[in-house]
Amino acid sequence: MFQVDKSTYKLADGHEMPMMGFGTYKLDNPDLMNKTIATAYESGYRMFDTAQYYRNEKMLGDAIRNVANRDDVFIIDKVTEMNQGHDLTINSTDFSLQQLGTDYVDLLLVHWPVAEHFFETWHALEELKKQGKAKSIGVSNFTQSQLELLKTQADEMPVVNQIETHPYLTQQPMIAFDKKMSIVTQAWSPLGRGAVLDNPMLAKMAKHHGKTPAQIILRWDIQRGISIIPKSQTPERIKENTELDFELSDDEMSMLNVMNKFQRTGNEPELVYELGKQY
């Protein structure tokens, strides 16, 4: 049975990672961060996702210290595009750790693939892992071809690939590829930034289970074997999103799988790779 504070995936490097985490994008003032993280921790969340690009690492570190011991939480951070390249990756990660107020992150990701610094950035992550500054290393927004390219020079492969996936962008081939490579797929924006929630079929399914459309989507993800990073600032929603102790039938899973429209809320990874920036 799914329990937000206990259910984990075993990563290829042997570390355990919670199935479900809490996203902090756009939590950009200390009071809001403190209240939201306190609510999330009380609701059972033990994994918290930030990024250099979010500019809220210090706020998150402070908020976590208010409610938990470092060993009780799993922190994800990401190296932004402007900080890629060997030396910049090392130096910016040191600064991120200083901001977070910790000696290590549990998972360090390359936020978006950038062609110019592709291999040296990854080698920097490998070094940071050897130094104990990251327990596990992975990527975000990488495609199959980019992972295949990385494999040609990587000493070790990513254990996580955090991508955009939701019922309008099911990413089934990507998830299957990650699994084949022993990479756990993690969903950012699992609710499609709200775009999916008004779907009539989803509403009908939610009514049948006595759940919300968001809970149906998050349960679908868990049954697909992927990790999820929902975010909310509403206390009721934060708690509600963890209540996934029900089962979708094979037919329901199939119905959700065919909702795919190839509809993104974020950028196309290949475009970011070429341009070297996501914005």
Binding residue positions for substrate: 111
Using DSSP, how many helices (H) and how many strands (E) does the chain show? 11, 10
CA distance 120 to 177: 24
The Cα–Cα gap between 16 and 14 comes to 7
Amino acid at 189: S
| Residue 54 is a catalytic residue | yes
Q: Residue 165 carries which side chain, given as an amino acid letter?
A: T
* Cβ–Cβ < 8 Å for 219, 256: no
Q: Answer yes or no: are the C-beta atoms of 239 and 43 closer than 8 Å.
A: yes
Q: Which of 41, 45, 54, 273 is catalytic?
A: 54
Q: Provide CB contacts within 8 A for 72, sequence distance 6+.
A: 46
Calpha distance 155→266 (Å, rounded): 30
Q: What is the DSSP letter of 86?
A: H
Unique residue bearing structure tokens 């996580």? 160
Cα dist from 115 to 81, 149, 242, 272, whole Å: 10, 11, 37, 9
Count Cβ neighbours within 10 Å for each residue of 59-81 and write b for 16 or more, e otherwise.
bbbbbbeeeeeeeebbbbbbbbb
Q: Does residue 69 come out as left (phi exceeding 0), alpha (psi in the -120 to 50 range) or beta?
A: beta
- Tell me the binding residues: 111
For residue 77, which phi and psi values (nearest 5 degrees)? Answer: -130, 160
Exposure of 257 in the CB half-sphere (CA atoms within 13 A): 12
CB atoms within 10 A of CB 44: 18
Catalytic residue set:
54
